[in-house]
């Protein structure tokens, strides 16, 4: 019996080690994860100089791919970074990466850096951008958060000034969000609410924030420091198409504390209810009917809005 168990254990170990490494699309080539490398002189690493997008695929449908690629192009254009691929070429690269990794449901990270340069700041010394596509699984929050709702906390770190780093840009410089995430984790929370420099609600570290009050769905305007989220816009569109009034409004923590419902949206998070903020119960302390309806509508949307591919 001991010999049998040992043999079985070895067989399982061999099966585990036989699993191929995920493939990364790097500068026009597919390379195993362990071989996907760029220079330590890349300005994306040295200075956070680059742009990215996080995208989802659901059952071989890349959700809102065109919208993500438009935002990638706009972010790159604003920081004067020339994308090495057209939108069509980038879409093809994403599809092929998913196919080669045999992924039906995935999180997709598209990154374009300024490229290898010197130790100075001047981007003109970076001759060629680096670009890569990563496809993998992601579970941002436990299932219980979607069923029962989550609790969040406001942290001291405020959102970057829009006049300093425009929140419309998805750049590799994410230290502002990371510091807020650290503060949340230090207080045993999974997510943090960030205010802007005026004390108005901006967004969370990786998600947009919504509230519902007297049937009106509300979210902060992007000019106060919120990212123009793809999922955020999808939820606003779904609300309006389904006779749920929805507006961008300047919000304070007082507004959130006294909301009937609250929820977060994001590519990785999707739609997650919030039932307590800074120790204050939101509404009845459980996911509300508007939130649950929007969660259902969003799930339906992910089955039909995007670019289809086959494995």
Q: Is 170 a catalytic residue?
A: yes
Question: Count of CB atoms within 10 A of residue 70's CB?
Answer: 14
Task: Name the residue with tokens 């399982």.
Answer: 12
First-residue to last-residue Cα distance in the chain = 42
Q: Give me the phi and psi of 32, to 5 degrees please.
A: -60, 150
Which among 170, 181, 213, 289 is annotated as catalytic?
170
Residue with tokens 């939130």: 291
Mind giving me the DSSP string for 129-190? Answer: -EEEEEEE----S-HHHHHH-EEEEE-SPPPPPTTTS-TT--BS--HHHHHHHHHHHHTT-S
Number of C-beta neighbours around residue 97 at 10 A: 22
Rounded CA gap, 181 and 107, in Å?
20
DSSP state of 128: S
CA distance 6 to 8: 5
Which residues are annotated as catalytic? 170
């Amino acid at each position: 019996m001991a010999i049998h168990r040992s043999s079985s254990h070895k067989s399982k170990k061999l099966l585990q080690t036989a699993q191929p490494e995920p493939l990364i699309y790097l500068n026009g080539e597919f390379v195993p994860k362990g071989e996907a490398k760029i220079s330590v002189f890349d300005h994306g690493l040295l200075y956070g100089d680059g742009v990215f997008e996080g995208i989802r695929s659901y059952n071989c449908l890349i959700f809102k791919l065109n919208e993500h690629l438009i935002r990638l192009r706009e972010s790159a254009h604003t920081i004067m970074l020339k994308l090495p691929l057209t939108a069509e070429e980038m879409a093809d690269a994403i599809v092929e990466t998913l196919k080669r990794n045999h992924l039906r449901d995935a999180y997709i990270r598209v990154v374009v850096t300024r490229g290898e340069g010197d130790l100075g700041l001047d981007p003109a010394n970076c001759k060629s951008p680096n670009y890569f596509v990563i496809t993998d699984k992601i579970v941002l929050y436990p299932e219980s958060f979607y069923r029962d709702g989550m609790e969040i906390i406001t942290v001291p770190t405020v959102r970057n000034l829009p006049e300093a780093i425009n929140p419309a840009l998805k750049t590799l410089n994410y230290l502002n969000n990371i510091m807020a995430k650290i503060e949340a984790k230090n207080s045993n929370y999974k997510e943090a609410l960030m205010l802007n420099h005026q004390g108005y609600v901006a967004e969370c570290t990786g998600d947009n924030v919504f509230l519902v009050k007297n049937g009106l769905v509300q979210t902060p305007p992007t000019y106060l420091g919120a990212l123009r989220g793809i999922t955020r816009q999808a939820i606003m569109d779904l609300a309006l198409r389904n006779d749920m009034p929805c507006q961008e409004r300047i919000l304070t923590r007082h507004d959130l504390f006294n909301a009937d419902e609250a929820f977060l949206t994001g590519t990785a998070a999707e739609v997650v209810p919030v039932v307590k903020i800074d120790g204050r119960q939101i509404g009845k302390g459980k996911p509300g009917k508007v939130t649950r309806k929007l969660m259902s509508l969003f799930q339906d949307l992910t089955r039909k809005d995007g670019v289809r591919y086959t494995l």
